[in-house]
A and B are shown apart, each in its own frame.
Chain A
Amino acid sequence: MRVLGNLLRTVSGAAGLAMLIMTMAATVLTPFLSPYDPFALDFANAMQPPSAAHWFGTDNFGRDIFTRVMAGAVYDMRLALICVFGPMAIGVLIGLVAGYLGGRIDAALMRLTDIVWAFPFYVLVLAIVGVLGPSETNLYIAFFLVNWIGYARIIRGETLLISRLEFIEATRVLRFGKLRVTLRHILPNAITPALVYSMSDVVLTVQAVAAMSFFGLGVQPPAPEWGLLIVESIDYMRDAPWMTVFPGLAIVWIGIAFALLGEGLSTALKPKG
């Protein structure tokens, strides 16, 4: 609660949170805001430019783009949040184990992350999905295999740093168990930079998830996913640019929200003094 208070006191944090709440409210309220069905075809109204009736215009099948973008928000947010916070949990665990046990296990884990780090993110995710075959499940597998690395490195580094601080020395004097110290005293402090990093990770993951679907390697049609909305619009781009522009702006909007939230969090979580 105190963190939330601090977060709201930062301009960027409050702005980012407001943008997210607006998005969530809009997705929940979509049935009241628009009378259209995201999948219903209406050829009489195909490729209408944005208007009072169709805020973002309509696509080549006459489907309302605002309704589809809102349906996509639910889809893309779920994908991105699972693909960030799932691997984050794994990475935090591995980082803690490496920092906690030290020695050979630590060295081996860090060599592994060094090597995976050498592969460009997009190349590795594309290759994994390419080998497994395009599907939403395989997209999750690819992100889980790749995305934990950053968190493991951050948490391990923080764990080593914090272990040397005085208050951890004090727990040793008090003869606290090593496991208790790691979970109750090191983890809460080490998690801060990982949380800040996760916000910028969400920004890039929303883009990556949409890009994968765009190349036909992620979510499959006819799901109203943002990357799919964009790829389906490309053939009509010249006559109906709104079909391409609005789903992209939705990605930009979410990106800005999380980037601001990350900036706010880094200020709000910074220890006083």
Chain B
Amino acid sequence: MFLAILKRLLMLVPVLIGITLISFLLLQIMPGDPASRAMGSRASAEDLQAMRELWGLDKPIWVQYFYFLRDCVTGSFGVSIFHKQPIITLVADRLPYTLAIVLYSTVIALVIALPFAILAAANRGRFLDVAIRQIFVVLIALPPFWLCYVLILWLALNLGMFPTGGVGTGFFANLYRLFLPSLVVGLSTAALIQQSLRAALIDAMKADYVDTARAKGLRGYEVFLRHILPNSLISTISIIGVRVSWIIGGTVVVEKIFSVPGLGSLLIDSIVSRDLPVIRGLTVFFAVMVVTVNLIADICYALADPRIRLE
């Protein structure tokens, strides 16, 4: 088990190098001199020169890449032009909110998708199954940025049940204030995972151990709760693992609209203020987040499934 995790970690090294390489190339596709593009037209000649030296713009391109790689490995991810701080400091302040929305929305997505997946799987091919599928088709078609405003208009402005945005202090205050943003991400995630969950449940229902459990006299709901559900929940881990990139991407839009000071708001703000080092550093950071969650999902999957654990 330990060896398997170590091997998996070693396999990550080329992926991480690839991620930094692509983020590095991102700034290379930009026409013109990166320093003057980043500093704006009002920058003084000394500032521009300092920028060129900091990024190594006078050096060959592969040296520039190693400058950037050094920043990533030493943990600063570069320095923001606008905030004049290492990017990692900016990230550290905002990461908790983004992680909170990722977790919260995943829970919401499961709470919504699982009961419908169970109902659909239990009534496979019948009217209820088809009807549930149509509900989720509509859910997929809802554009998240618009849904944010519909919910703000309906639940926040008209009914006054929720604040229109912002965050609070403490766990319960944020559980309340982050509900709407997490709901928007959760709904779109639920739409994406419901079909896979249904398929996983149907697979589990067809397994031989279900026949065995029935043969030894267990009742329908007992078979379901003790055999079918636990086994299909294991595959839920990998289904969410596959979708995590989508979930993390979804936080960007809702954070900005609900004024949550997370990584997504930072990304959009730095695009507006053309803070290029932050844009580059954040793309690396978002990808590292996805890779890390995938790794965690793989390890959880291995821990939950004895067949993989014993390998």
- Report chain B residues within 8 Å CB of A203: 140-141
Question: A244 near B149 (CB under 8 angstroms)?
Answer: yes
A26 at the interface (CB under 8 A from B): no
Contact B249 A130 (CB under 8 A): no
Q: Which residues of B contact A120 (CB under 8 A)?
A: 245-246, 248-249, 252, 286-287, 290
Give chain A's interface secondary structure class. helix
Question: Secondary structure of the B side of the interface?
Answer: helix
A263 interfacial contact with B, CB 8 Å: yes
Chain B's nearest CB lies how many Å from the CB of A253?
A: 8
Tell me if A211 and B245 are in contact (CB < 8 A).
no
Give the CA-CA distance A248 to B250 in the complex, in Å: 18
- Report if A217-B153 is in contact (Cβ < 8 Å); known contacts: A118-B19, A210-B143, A252-B138: no
Are B150 and A122 interface neighbours, CB within 8 A?
no
Asked if B143 and A119 make an inter-chain contact with CB atoms under 8 angstroms apart, the answer reads: no
Contact-residue bracket for chain A: 35 or more
Please, which residues of chain A bring their CB within 8 A of the CB of B143?
Answer: 206-207, 210-211, 248, 251-252, 255
Please state if A259 and B150 are interface contacts (CB–CB under 8 Å).
no
Contact partner of A119 (CB less than 8 A), chosen from B133, B287, B294, is: B287
Residues in B neighbouring A241, C-beta threshold 8 A: 153
A72–chain B nearest beta-carbon distance, Å: 13
Contact of B146 among A122, A127, A216, A248 (CB under 8 A): A248
User: Number of contact residues on B: which range applies?
Assistant: 35 or more
Binding site for B on A (CB under 8 A): 111-112, 114-124, 126-132, 200, 203, 206-207, 210-211, 214-217, 227, 230, 234, 237-238, 241, 244-245, 247-248, 251-256, 259-260, 263
The 8 closest A-B pairs by CB, nearest first: A255-B141, A120-B249, A130-B271, A115-B18, A248-B146, A122-B249, A207-B143, A118-B287
Q: A119-B287, A121-B249, A245-B150 given. 4 additional CB < 8 A pairs?
A: A114-B15, A121-B246, A203-B141, A211-B253
A-B contact pairs, 24 of them (CB 8 A): A114-B18, A115-B15, A120-B248, A120-B287, A123-B248, A123-B252, A123-B282, A124-B283, A126-B268, A127-B279, A128-B26, A130-B271, A130-B279, A132-B30, A203-B140, A211-B143, A211-B145, A237-B157, A247-B146, A248-B149, A251-B146, A252-B142, A255-B142, A256-B137
